[in-house]
Chain A
Amino acid sequence: MSTESIAIPITDTARPPFTATLHEWITTVDHKRLGLLYIFYSLVFLVIGGVEAGIMRIQLIRPHNDFVSPQVFNRMFTMHGTTMIFFVAMPMVFGFANYLIPLMIGARDMAFPRLNAFSFWMTAFGGLLLYFSFIGGDGLYGAGNAPDVGWFAYAPLTSQTFSPGHSTDFWTLSLLVSGIGSVGTAINIIATIVCMRCKGMTLGRMPLLAWLNIVMAGLVILAVSPLTAAQVMLLVDRYLGGHFFDTQAGGSAVVWMHFFWVFGHPEVYVLVIPAFAFVSEIIPVFSRKAIFGYPIMVAATVCIGFISMSVWAHHMFTVGMTSAGNTFFVLSTMAIAVPTGIKIFNWLATIWGGQIHFLTPMLFCIAFLFQFLIAGLTGVMLAAAPFDWQLAGSYFLVAHFHYVIVGGILFAIFAAFYYWFPKMSGRMYDERLGRLHFWLFLIGFHLTFDFMHIPGILGMPRRIYTYEPGRGWETLNFIVTIGVLFQALGTLVFVGNLLWSYFRGKFAGRDPWDAWTLEWSTASPPPAYNFAKIPEIRSRRPLWDLKHPEDPDWQYE
């Protein structure tokens, strides 16, 4: 085990100049630094995307509000959706994967460090390209700046006729560029996990986080590439005068929908599977029990991976498919609830009878369990095609997928932040501020997204910039907007906690949680080489074996 670190003689104790540090970070190929860059980058975009959501909610706080114009409102929801999916959620999970996977499988770096840096910068420039549209989108037409076609950009709205100027091109190109980065990272993750595991780490002893991330990476490869292809077609249409999605020349707008959702639905699982991964690592540690049903967890994940490739058209029930098509997608969508349910029961069984420590990461995980369950239940409701015909395109749908993405994924990401912050920074976060963040965000989340279901059932469609009074939507929309305030406050506390703890927090030591996976066996923050000696393991919980030589895990597995 790599408990000793190599002392590097310090020749110069003075702080290096700022430019040197900057140069080091920009040219880095170290997986930990790239991971942190990913995470920092997505935090910045989280704030930007949150501000856009706030602008929309202020506009909708009362009927006939004129806080922003309809055009600006359209841009806001397009930018909010695109930013949150492509430049917050994806870089965030890639950041954690980058940082944690080599540490967890006992490797010194990712398989392709330079590809790793390339992928990060592609993603970063993709984000900049999207936001450059605020300046450059006007083109020569004076036709509005940022993209305003919605995050799934249905044809024919994206054709030159209906979207003059360059705003849609910025959208297309930024997704194309960041998509290349995503595929690069996915290839890297798979190669790392397949080739770089330390001695003794068979596939059956790999931490669940590594297992779930390899499934996620496989999904990225199979899902993001179709999006890239579709974006190329859109560019051909817009710039070379092609007819892929030009209905007047025999092209089809529905084909774009299919191509987009072939990407779009697996994408949900690209984001949620790493969230499962965080929860699967955190819950056992704070329940002081090994994960319940490890092989079933792996099997369920792989199962979700496969099924998620065959459910995309449940986004398109209202388009008018054949009844055979509808039936197929209803059944496949409902089938995916089975492996997901297995996971929830496994987490519950892990907590069951455990010695639960209610610290901030665990609080977020427990909230995740409840909220993800509800999100899954409304998902099953919407999977029934007749129900979907009634509520597709309403605020019920918006509430459903925000329950998945905020209540599920974002809560798991916050849990991961608090859990691994001591490892990444070497210092403990402030527990009181962490709890304050949790409660503020929990209250804000439920105020916003619980109450958002109801106007949807009452018939409020998504993407409207204002509404008439007297439909029973006013109070509900008011409550929804107030919830955003709580969430914003919670996020401020979170960022403040991170900053304060980074400079002033208590030193954490290498293993503050008494955890069991390999990343806790090295110093916090880990040295550039990760492990002085590559570890050798004999069970799923190598640190347990080390701490309890009288009762090691490998006797039972």
Chain B
Amino acid sequence: MYCLIAAESAIFTIFVVAYIFYLGKSVTGPQPHDVLHVPIFLTICLLSSSLTIHFAVKSLQSARMGSFTLWWLLTIVLGAIFLAGTFREWRHLIYDEGLTLQTNLFGTTYYSLVGLHAFHVTVGLLALAIVLIFALRGDVTRQHAARAEVLSMYWHFVDVVWVVVFTVVYIIGR
């Protein structure tokens, strides 16, 4: 998993570098500071989901199945809120601001970077949901704690990437 994370980090690095390199190089509007709003609520949701998945794994390690399922469910809900928020933001950008991937360089780099991250959130949510189904069927036991921990590492990674993306896109980029 560490290796996969290293490989994924390299991919994100390339996209982040492209985003930073192309900042302010768009020949036509809209520019980032015209249209972007800082998604503080969503960021809090995603970052706190790191905490909840940590508690979930801890519960699993000490075989408290009820609290594991609860924390795990909470993680999924928080992740889903984040994804829904991104959906709303994109909807706003596309329909109200007229910014699409084709509009200008900002659009191209913004949608691909944030989209790449959202794609990873989606993959993570699918994996989390599969585990939840197993948990509800009673198939997850304490001996699966190591595997759940691997999944939680992926989820932490997605969060860390969001910290980078958030800093680059919404703070430096504006």
**Residues of chain B in range 1-33 having any CB-CB distance to chain A below 8 Å:** 3-4, 6-8, 10-15, 18, 21-22, 25-28
Is B67 in the interface zone, CB < 8 Å from A? no
Residues of A within 8 A of B27 (CB): 249-250
Interface of B (DSSP majority class) = helix
- Nearest CB on A from B43, distance (A): 24
The reply to whether A241 and B101 form a contact with Cβ atoms under 8 Å apart is yes
| CB within 8 Å for A229 and B22 given contacts A191-B3, A244-B108 | no
The reply to whether A187 and B3 form a contact with Cβ atoms under 8 Å apart is yes
Is A499 in the interface zone, CB < 8 Å from B? no
The reply to whether B4 and A187 form a contact with Cβ atoms under 8 Å apart is yes
The reply to whether A243 and B13 form a contact with Cβ atoms under 8 Å apart is no
Is B105 in the interface zone, CB < 8 Å from A? yes
CA distance A223 to B101 in the complex (A): 27
The reply to whether A249 and B7 form a contact with Cβ atoms under 8 Å apart is no
Residue of B nearest to A217 (CB): B3
- Nearest CB on B from A405, distance (A): 24
Is B104 in the interface zone, CB < 8 Å from A? yes
CA distance A221 to B40 in the complex (A): 33
Is B109 in the interface zone, CB < 8 Å from A? yes
**Residues of chain A in range 413-443 having any CB-CB distance to chain B below 8 Å:** none
Is A325 in the interface zone, CB < 8 Å from B? no
One of A221, A242, A255 near B7 (C-beta < 8 A):
A221
Residues 251-264 of A, flagged 1 when their CB comes within 8 A of B and 0 if not, give: 11001000100100
Residues of B within 8 A of A42 (CB): none
Residues of B within 8 A of A225 (CB): 7-8, 10-11, 14
Residues of A within 8 A of B10 (CB): 221-223, 225-226, 229
The reply to whether A251 and B105 form a contact with Cβ atoms under 8 Å apart is yes
The reply to whether B6 and A222 form a contact with Cβ atoms under 8 Å apart is yes
Is B48 in the interface zone, CB < 8 Å from A? no
Is B102 in the interface zone, CB < 8 Å from A? yes
The reply to whether B13 and A226 form a contact with Cβ atoms under 8 Å apart is yes
Residues 96-131 of B, flagged 1 when their CB comes within 8 A of A and 0 if not, give: 000001101100110010001000000000000000
Is A240 in the interface zone, CB < 8 Å from B? yes
| CB within 8 Å for A232 and B104 given contacts A225-B10, A226-B10 | no
Residue of B nearest to A258 (CB): B17
Residue of B nearest to A228 (CB): B11
Residue of A nearest to B100 (CB): A241
One of A226, A251, A252 near B14 (C-beta < 8 A):
A226
Taking each of B13, B105, B116, which has the highest tally of chain A beta carbons within 10 Å of its own beta carbon? B105
CA distance A240 to B6 in the complex (A): 28
One of B4, B11, B21 near A229 (C-beta < 8 A):
B11
Assign chain B's interface to a size class: 20 to 34
The reply to whether B3 and A241 form a contact with Cβ atoms under 8 Å apart is no
The reply to whether A251 and B3 form a contact with Cβ atoms under 8 Å apart is no
- Nearest CB on B from A325, distance (A): 15
Residues of B within 8 A of A250 (CB): 22, 25-27, 104-105
The reply to whether A229 and B105 form a contact with Cβ atoms under 8 Å apart is no
Is A183 in the interface zone, CB < 8 Å from B? yes
Residue of B nearest to A180 (CB): B7
| CB within 8 Å for A230 and B6 given contacts A241-B101, A250-B27 | no
- Nearest CB on A from B102, distance (A): 4
| CB within 8 Å for A255 and B21 given contacts A241-B101, A250-B26 | yes
The reply to whether A233 and B18 form a contact with Cβ atoms under 8 Å apart is yes
The reply to whether B101 and A240 form a contact with Cβ atoms under 8 Å apart is yes
Is A186 in the interface zone, CB < 8 Å from B? yes
Residues of B within 8 A of A224 (CB): 7
CA distance A221 to B15 in the complex (A): 16
Is A190 in the interface zone, CB < 8 Å from B? yes
CA distance A217 to B112 in the complex (A): 28
Residue of A nearest to B27 (CB): A250
The reply to whether B25 and A242 form a contact with Cβ atoms under 8 Å apart is no
Is A492 in the interface zone, CB < 8 Å from B? no
| CB within 8 Å for A241 and B102 given contacts A191-B3, A221-B7, A225-B10 | yes
Residue of B nearest to A221 (CB): B7
Residue of A nearest to B21 (CB): A255
Residues of A within 8 A of B13 (CB): 226
CA distance A244 to B102 in the complex (A): 10
The reply to whether A244 and B18 form a contact with Cβ atoms under 8 Å apart is yes
CA distance A242 to B108 in the complex (A): 5
Residues of B within 8 A of A236 (CB): 101, 108, 112
Residues 108-128 of A, flagged 1 when their CB comes within 8 A of B and 0 if not, give: 000000000000000000000
The residues of A with any CB-CB pair to B shorter than 8 Å are: 183, 186-187, 190-191, 217, 221-226, 228-230, 232-233, 236-237, 240-244, 249-252, 255, 259, 262
8 pairs across A/B with beta carbons < 8 Å?
A221-B6, A226-B11, A229-B11, A229-B14, A237-B108, A243-B105, A252-B25, A259-B14
Given A236-B108, A259-B18, 11 more contacts at CB 8 Å? A183-B7, A222-B10, A225-B11, A229-B11, A229-B15, A240-B102, A244-B109, A244-B112, A249-B104, A250-B25, A259-B14
